[in-house]
């Protein structure tokens, strides 16, 4: 009996130890789960704040550039003479084209002092020429002088879109009388504008919220709220009159970057929301917010820990293996998130450079026009500035092309026509002759992306040939299933040690290179289910695209 008691005592002791280990292990995992979730949340907040700052700065720069273009138009000789002339309309159409190169623009209107539309350029709206636009009396007033008439940014409702449009107005001030004589008005779809900036950082529209200075929602995870005032009773009831959320919004609209975590009465539940004011010409015009449901960042970790707990109950020895696997996976996830932030910062830097670069380019045009080749030194220096601007612009495009991830738009296009467009975008030195294919071929591909590939390869060939007299021979070949485009150039052979790395990301042999051009080419061609190769004797870049 004593032996049996001892036996059962050992069984009980072993059972108690195993049970204790199980309880301690489960408790440790519970604590670890909370710590990891806290760490992920803190990391997500840092990422969101970086993204929000970048997008806010990009939006400000873009709209300020549009305002600058409108200012140039308002002060032009043609509009100063008469808003409604053919010359004015032509200049307005030219400005509309320039604005679309900055941001997709719905329309541009020129109104006289009675708010009658004298000229209009639009790809989407019906003609308003001759019509009187109401509701703009506060923007221009003949009794106000020029210092009281300033550009304005508004949210307006139109019948064209199921959402508010962003409108930017700029007064046309008579240079002699200093009294407003008219108004320029540009509009564009708000959702398309803000979504485009979010897409640069892979932020989908359902995770964005934007409102104007009057609290009108321009983008919202609940699409039925778009166009409504956030503080109206209807929306306040939806969110349960959440004072924490309301105070967070008010704090951002007072000029502060702020992140908050709270739960609303909707399908999203708990969310991390980072809001930032969008300041344009020293005035807060919008509130931009990145919204991340905590469930989306915790889902993976919840599943992993749940299955790990089950495994722990049955196999204590598996705890170490599972924990190591989990920590390795989280380490890779953190590394990936870190690289994402670096990519976002690179894109932000590229955007920050591009906007002042446009100002430098415009200044060069103005100086060159004023100089009119009178001063040889000025002309020479302006040419050097233009060459530098083109080089930097190309490097910026290489960075942006590399970080952009957009789906292919496959349509039938001419190979030769795309080659001609690529050649036209480049400055071809007089010492280089380019020969294009005699026979044209048409296949389906993404025109904008393949154009980037052709431009990069031709530019590399030009840089390789240098100042020597040379040629670039472009030929096409058709097989049963593919099209092969070859770019042969007379430049020096590629060193064998470089040839196998030539398409690697960040690999470059040029002092001013980014190492992204040929890497982007490879990514684009592979997106098309094709391939790209380089060979020597002579130097040939071959692109294979499926029909």
* Domain-terminating residue out of 177, 192, 207: 192
Q: Please give the helix or strand (H or E) that residue 34 lies within, else none.
A: helix 2-74
Q: Would residue 465 count as lying in a domain?
A: yes
Rounded to whole angstroms, how far apart are CA atoms 184 and 168? 8
- The single-letter DSSP state of residue 479 is -
Instruction: Give the Cβ contact number of residue 7 at 10 Å.
Output: 10
User: Domain of 75?
Assistant: 66-192
Q: Would residue 319 count as lying in a domain?
A: no
Residue 58 φ/ψ, nearest 5 degrees: -65, -45
- Residue length, the chain? 547
Q: Would residue 312 count as lying in a domain?
A: no
- 339: helix, strand or coil: helix
Instruction: Give the Cβ contact number of residue 513 at 10 Å.
Output: 16
Global pTM value: 0.49
* Domain-terminating residue out of 143, 170, 192: 192
Q: What confidence tens digit (pLDDT) does each residue in 104-161 have?
A: 888 899 998 888 999 999 877 788 888 887 766 555 444 444 444 688 888 877 655 5
Question: Token digits for 517?
Answer: 């051009």
- The single-letter DSSP state of residue 216 is B
CATH of the domain at 440: 3.30.565.10
* Domain-terminating residue out of 146, 161, 192: 192
Q: What confidence tens digit (pLDDT) does each residue in 327-372 have?
A: 456 545 544 554 455 456 555 655 556 566 666 767 667 777 777 7
Instruction: Give the Cβ contact number of residue 153 at 10 Å.
Output: 19
User: Tell me, what's the pLDDT at 15?
Assistant: 56
CATH of the domain at 175: 3.30.450.20
In the block, which residue shows the tokens 């770019």?
Answer: 487
Question: Token digits for 123?
Answer: 């790809």
Cβ-based neighbours of 178, under 8 Å, separated by 6 or more? 145, 146
Q: How large is the C-alpha radius of gyration of the chain?
A: 30
Pairing relationship of beta strands 107-112 and 117-122 according to DSSP bridges: antiparallel
User: Tell me, what's the pLDDT at 462?
Assistant: 92
| Angle between helices 376-403 and 318-371 in degrees, nearest 10 | 160
User: Tell me, what's the pLDDT at 337?
Assistant: 57
Burial grade of 403 (CB within 10 A; 0-12, 13-18, 19 or more): middle
User: Tell me, what's the pLDDT at 12?
Assistant: 57
Question: Token digits for 475?
Answer: 């030929």
Contact present, 412 and 401 (Cβ < 8 Å): no
User: Tell me, what's the pLDDT at 143?
Assistant: 42
Rounded to whole angstroms, how far apart are CA atoms 181 and 312? 79
Cβ-based neighbours of 156, under 8 Å, separated by 6 or more? 164, 165, 167, 187
Question: Token digits for 457?
Answer: 């390869």
| Angle between helices 517-527 and 376-403 in degrees, nearest 10 | 40
Residue 224 φ/ψ, nearest 5 degrees: -70, -15
Domain count, the chain: 2
Q: Please give the helix or strand (H or E) that residue 81 lies within, else none.
A: helix 77-81
The residue ranges of the chain whose pLDDT is under 70 are 1-22, 25-26, 28-29, 32, 135-149, 158-162, 205-206, 300-301, 304-359, 361, 363-364, 386-405, 506-507, 509-516
Q: Would residue 393 count as lying in a domain?
A: no
Cβ-based neighbours of 295, under 8 Å, separated by 6 or more? 269, 270
Q: Would residue 337 count as lying in a domain?
A: no
> Which among 362, 72, 118, 197 is positioned nearest to 108, based on CA atoms?
118
User: Tell me, what's the pLDDT at 387?
Assistant: 61
Q: Would residue 160 count as lying in a domain?
A: yes
| Angle between helices 447-465 and 517-527 in degrees, nearest 10 | 140
Cβ-based neighbours of 350, under 8 Å, separated by 6 or more? 396, 399, 400
Q: Would residue 93 count as lying in a domain?
A: yes
Instruction: Give the Cβ contact number of residue 215 at 10 Å.
Output: 16
Q: Would residue 395 count as lying in a domain?
A: no
Residue 474 φ/ψ, nearest 5 degrees: -110, 125
In the block, which residue shows the tokens 């009773």?
Answer: 233
Alpha helix ranges (H) inside 216-317: 233-238, 243-253, 294-314
What is the sign of the dihedral through the CA atoms of 358, 360, 361 and 363?
positive
User: Tell me, what's the pLDDT at 40?
Assistant: 80
Cβ-based neighbours of 271, under 8 Å, separated by 6 or more? 261, 262, 263, 264, 291, 292, 293, 294
- The single-letter DSSP state of residue 23 is H
Residue 183 φ/ψ, nearest 5 degrees: -155, 140
């Amino acid at each position: 009996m004593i032996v049996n008691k001892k036996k059962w005592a050992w069984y009980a002791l072993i059972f108690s130890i195993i049970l204790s280990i199980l309880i301690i292990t489960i408790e440790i995992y519970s604590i670890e789960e909370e710590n990891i979730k806290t760490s992920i949340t803190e990391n997500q907040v840092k990422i969101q704040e970086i993204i929000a700052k970048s997008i806010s700065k990009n939006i400000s720069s873009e709209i300020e550039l549009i305002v600058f273009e409108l200012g140039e138009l308002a002060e032009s000789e043609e509009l100063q003479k008469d808003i409604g002339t053919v010359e004015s309309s032509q200049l307005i159409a030219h400005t509309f084209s320039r604005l679309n190169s900055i941001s997709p623009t719905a329309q541009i209107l020129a109104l006289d002092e009675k708010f009658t539309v004298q000229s209009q350029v639009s790809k989407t709206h019906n003609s308003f020429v001759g019509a009187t636009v109401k509701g703009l009396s506060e923007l221009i007033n003949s009794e106000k002088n020029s210092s009281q008439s300033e550009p304005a940014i508004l949210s307006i409702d139109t019948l064209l879109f199921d959402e508010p449009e962003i409108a930017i107005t700029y007064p046309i001030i008579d240079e002699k009388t200093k009294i407003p004589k008219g108004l320029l008005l540009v509009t564009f779809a708000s959702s398309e504008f803000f979504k485009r900036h979010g897409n640069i950082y892979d932020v989908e529209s359902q995770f964005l919220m934007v409102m104007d200075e009057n609290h009108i929602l321009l983008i919202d995870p609940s699409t039925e709220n778009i166009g409504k005032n956030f503080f109206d009773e209807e929306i306040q009831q939806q969110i349960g009159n959440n004072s924490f959320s309301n105070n967070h919004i008010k704090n951002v609209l007072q000029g502060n970057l702020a992140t908050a975590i709270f739960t609303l009465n909707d399908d999203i539940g708990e969310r991390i929301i980072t809001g930032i004011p969008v300041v344009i010409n020293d005035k807060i015009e919008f509130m931009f917010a990145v919204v991340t449901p905590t469930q989306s960042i915790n889902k993976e970790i919840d599943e992993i820990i749940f299955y790990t707990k089950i495994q722990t109950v049955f196999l204590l020895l598996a705890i170490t293996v599972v924990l190591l696997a989990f920590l390795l996976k989280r380490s890779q996830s953190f590394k990936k998130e870190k690289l994402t932030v670096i990519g976002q910062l690179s894109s932000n830097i590229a955007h920050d450079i591009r906007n002042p670069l446009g100002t430098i380019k415009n200044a060069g045009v103005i100086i060159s026009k004023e100089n009119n080749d009178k001063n040889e030194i000025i002309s020479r220096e302006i040419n050097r500035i233009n060459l530098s601007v083109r080089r930097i612009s190309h490097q910026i495009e290489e960075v942006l092309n590399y970080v952009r991830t957009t789906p292919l738009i496959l349509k039938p296009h001419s190979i030769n026509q795309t080659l001609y467009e690529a050649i036209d975008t480049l400055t071809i030195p007089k010492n280089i002759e380019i020969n294009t294919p005699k026979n044209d071929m048409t296949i389906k591909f993404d025109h904008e992306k393949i154009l980037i590939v052709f431009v990069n390869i031709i530019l590399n060939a030009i840089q390789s040939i240098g100042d020597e007299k040379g040629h670039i021979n472009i030929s096409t070949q058709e097989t049963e299933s593919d099209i092969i485009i070859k770019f042969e150039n007379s430049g020096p052979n590629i060193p064998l040690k470089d040839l196998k790395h030539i398409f690697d990301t960040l690999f470059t042999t040029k002092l001013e290179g980014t190492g992204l051009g040929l890497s982007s080419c490879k990514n684009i061609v592979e997106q098309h289910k094709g391939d790209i190769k380089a060979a020597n004797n002579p130097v040939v870049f071959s692109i294979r695209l499926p029909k």
